[in-house]
Amino acid sequence: MVNLFCKPILKTKSMQSARFFALVLFIISAGCTQKDNNAIMMIMLTDAPADYEEVLIDVLGLQVNYSTGSNDGEWVFINGINTGVYNLLDYTNGLDTLLIKAVLPGGHISQMRLMLGDNNQVKTNGSYYDLETPSAQQSGLKFNVNADLVAGLTYKIWIDFDAGRSVIHKGNDKYSLKPVIRTFTEATSGAIKGTVQPEDSRPYITAISTAMDTIGTYSDTLSGEFFFSGMNEGIYKLNFNPVAGFMEMSIDNVNVSTGSITELGTVSILVE
């Protein structure tokens, strides 16, 4: 486990500000063991399936915009992230991987930045192509979190890529990453799970809530399984858009509750 308070990880220009200095003093006083005023934060990486063979991202680091009672929020680098090249499509349909486990004082995380290196690629039709990520290389992939960490508790925060919408084919074998990312926590989300038959109907599935939240995923090519995680509580409509030769369909009034998985069982896609 990474203890945020025992390493010289705070290396931004904002270190000079009085508010940030107050956070540094708090960190120094916290010592190097987890105490009652600290929370454990686990950050996981997951993804929705995409119509590619691999989507590779080169993870170098992580920043969080973090605030306690003594400051209004500053960007903080966190050491100890599991760096390396990740194939996002290894973590679909409910699978994930741990990026970092860190100790933080109780407070609020409003945003994160995922810093990427140069080894980002997409594989399609057996060939690899460079995946341009100019914004990520300069300042990181920034996304909202809005998670409150209560001292003494452990929190899992998922960074959920939608690779199907994040990879942009620009033509002439050129690809770029324009990330569609959302985050969710274990304590504030529900899920929907099911299986599509036949598997080769390969539908793109969207879940639309009455609040007009929309989430998308593909069913698994081999098993037909699909899994929506990190969903707000509410009533959803699921639309199934299969490949050519099969009929579109929808399911209404799918109820999602916090802390539980709604099991849909087998969904049959009809041949045209």
Answer yes or no: is pLDDT of 188 > 90: no
Query: How would residue 211 be classed by pLDDT, with cut points 50, 70 and 90?
Result: confident
List, for residues 110-155, the tens digit of each pLDDT value: 999 999 999 999 999 999 999 998 766 667 888 888 888 877 777 8
Listed in order, the ranges of the chain carrying CATH 2.60.40.1120 are: 190-268
Answer yes or no: is pLDDT of 32 > 70: no
Q: How far apart are CA 183 and CA 156, in angstroms?
A: 10
Answer yes or no: is pLDDT of 238 > 90: yes
List, for residues 46-75, the tens digit of each pLDDT value: 998 888 999 999 999 999 998 887 667 889
Q: Which fold has domain 190-268?
A: Immunoglobulin-like (2.60.40)
The pTM (predicted TM-score) of the whole model is: 0.69
- What does the pLDDT read at residue 83? 96
Q: How far apart are CA 147 and CA 185, in angstroms?
A: 8
